[in-house]
Amino acid sequence: MNGTTYLITANEGDAREYLYDNGGNEELAFIDETRVKDLKLDPTAFPYADLLQQNEQLGRLKASLVDGDTDNDGDYDEIYTYGTRSVTVWNAATGTVVWDSKNDFEQIIKQRSPLLFNSTNDENNFDDRSDDKGPEPEGVTVGMVNGKMYAFIGFERVGGIAMYDLSNPTNPTFAHYISTRDFLGNPENGTAGNLAPEGMVFIPASQSPNSTALLVVTYEVSGSVQIFELGTQEPNTSVEENAQTTGLSVYPNPSKDKVTFNLTNTDEAEVIIYNSIGTQVMKSTFNASLTISKDQLQATGVYFYEVINRGIRTTGKLVIMD
């Protein structure tokens, strides 16, 4: 772009693993990773190793087996983990990083799926991946849509696809998030939609059978394929826009007594409420308005709600106080 060649990488975070030895025999010849809880840590460098290696701390985090034993005495003086959870733009000629998305992906997922944030691809569990490798950006492709260059990044675990505007390659901007996963479905019986985007192919409008840019996505866990038309309408990019479309209001929030879900339409709606660890605590259908008392939720604290109305899913946070 503008005379400069760039390279874009999806940083999934996979370690090196070789299944064949020098003789071509199939065996686990080399593996680069383990979990922090399984590392033998140097007692001087890590005096609180027992605490650090608990699953609730760093225990489940993947770390390198190759690096970290600085004095070659058989234990690890430093812990090395590998870059993941982001997409990076490089200057292809110099190898210089010109931009990285950092924690963008998890911020996007948190806004759009707070009830099942960082879920894995075959179970609907809240925060299942934060202490491992997050959403795992698996693949990336680029393409021109209506005169703009975009990057498309697929998240292997949580299942969505992020779309970034590459008009300025040194400062890309988030444009859209696509997900056809159904968190109300069951991944085991095939009712959870499309799971684990693995491969993506961009078809430019000039080569498309309908003269519209297309994104073809294959999904590893659900064994499905989807084709998205690109550039045919303005994307609905925010939770707030969903709420405006259905006319949803939730008040008072925070609340000490009761909370009311109100819609500006009378079509049947469903509300599901989860506690802070993702366990469903109630589910109800209503038309136009529903009031929930503090006693129905049984405890004070932070909850997450999900309202489905007119085919639109809107999520948000609910705070119940003493």
The CATH number that applies at residue 258 is 2.60.40.3080
In a shared domain, residues 105 and 59? no
Q: What is the DSSP string of 42-98?
A: -TTT-TTHHHHTSTTTTTTSEEESSS--TT-SSSBSS------SEEEEEETTTTEEE
Segment 261-291, tens digit of pLDDT: 999 889 999 998 887 766 788 999 999 999 9
Same domain, yes or no: 95 and 203: yes
Same domain, 199 and 152: yes
Q: Is the pTM of this model over 0.75?
A: no
Q: Say if 117 falls within a structural domain.
A: yes
Please, which pLDDT band fits residue 240 given cuts at 50, 70 and 90? very low
Q: What is the pLDDT of residue 77?
A: 97
Instruction: Look up the domain containing 95 and give its range.
Output: 6-11+84-229
* Residues 98 and 201 grouped into a single domain: yes
Q: Which three-class secondary structure state does DSSP give residue 36?
A: helix
Domain count, the chain: 3
The residue whose two tokens read 């975070």 is 13
Are 98 and 211 contained in the same domain?
yes
Q: 224 vs 187, which has greater pLDDT?
A: 224
pLDDT at position 235, please?
47
Evaluate if residue 236 carries a pLDDT over 50.
no
102-133, pLDDT tens digit by residue? Answer: 989 888 888 777 767 777 877 777 777 777 78
Q: Are residues 44 and 133 in the same domain?
A: no
Residue 200 lies in a domain: yes
Q: What SS3 string covers 255-315?
A: ECCEEEEECCCCCEEEEEEECCCCCEEEEEEEECEEEEEHHHHCCCEEEEEEEEECCEEEE
- Encode pLDDT of 9-43 as tens digits: 999 887 888 776 667 666 667 888 899 999 999 99
